[in-house]
Structure 1
């Protein structure tokens, strides 16, 4: 697949990826809390999402780490999926882990019959937009005032889509 070829990152750190389940709820909640979102997810919310059969979640484990230092979570419906969240712990960013994690996740989604993947990213999140475009996502719309910010203002969401098939 063309998007998988674009995934290769020449400076990526060695990392393994793997499926996360309800046993990882606290890890996912802690990571989500480091993602800079206006409202973090509680462990109970994460456990419910991780137990949901329509939700696919993968984590990234650099080196010999036993706890994930990042995760990506998607909800599947028919042959489409929406990425709900992707977070890499601040101390592990800028070394290719997000690309490795997202590539593995997209491969898993494609293997389960997903043909299109959607996501929203806050306008101005240059690093995330760059990663998504690098993997082949393209802008399909904008939602003004979609994201609440900690200061009470609201940010525009850029809606993006990737065709896996």
Structure 2
């Protein structure tokens, strides 16, 4: 007898912001609530890959986002030019991954991942990371910045919206869940993985690139 499957539809919310507006908003917030001096944001260096992998996986392990663990070998293939890490008291506590797309007439920016350790959230880390991202995009001559937020991740949508990002569309995908399998096991991996070009990977045969 063939096993039964349940087909559901999930989606990512596509959001867009003006880079300068985002920088103005993050600057305004920083003035109202000065960023703690013990938060240091810096570009990810190659010799920090191992620590970054641990940070990345710990940021998303309790997140509602679809998630596939990152390995050191996979992370070594990542373009680190636009990846920034926030250290709190010298310990990696958050990251943001930014990329500039040069397709078409004008370049545009894309935030493909942002994460903060659970016990460091709501303490200025995300604000510091978004400021670094806005500076990076403006320096690259980018006017518009896009990101995609998983529809069930309400905290992330609220965070991104507070910096001028507005919904401009949705990208839906069907999720087929075999009977007896948790729905989460069938969801695609995080967007940062798309940049690695590693689909499918051993152990993630059911994950799909987003």
TM bucket (normalised to shorter chain) is 0.7 to 0.9
**More relative contact order, 1 or 2 (CA 8 Å, 6+ apart):** 2
Q: Does residue 137 in structure 1 map to residue 156 in structure 2?
A: no
TM-fit CA distance, 1:96? 1.8
Q: Tell me the equivalent position of 1:107.
A: 135
Contact 1:99 1:131 in 2 (8 A): no
Unaligned runs of 5+ in 2: 1-19, 177-181, 189-210
Q: Tell me the equivalent position of 1:85.
A: 113
Q: Does residue 48 in structure 1 map to residue 81 in structure 2?
A: no
Q: Tell me the equivalent position of 1:30.
A: 54
Q: Does residue 19 in structure 1 map to residue 43 in structure 2?
A: yes
| Structure with a larger share of its residues in strand | 1
TM-fit CA distance, 1:97? 0.7
Larger C-alpha radius of gyration, 1 or 2? 2
Normalising to structure 2: TM-score of the pair?
A: 0.63
Q: Does residue 70 in structure 1 map to residue 99 in structure 2?
A: no
SS in 2 for 1:100: helix
TM-fit CA distance, 1:147? 8.6
Unaligned runs of 5+ in 1: 156-165
CA distance in 1: counterparts of 2:175 and 2:147, whole angstroms: 13
Normalising to structure 1: TM-score of the pair?
A: 0.78
Q: Does residue 94 in structure 1 map to residue 122 in structure 2?
A: yes
Count matched residues.
150
1:107-143, Cα deviation, whole Å (9 max, x unpaired): 1121121222111111131211111111111111112
TM-fit CA distance, 1:12? 4.4
Q: Tell me the equivalent position of 1:116.
A: 144
Query: What is the Cα-based RMSD across aligned positions, in Å?
Result: 2.5
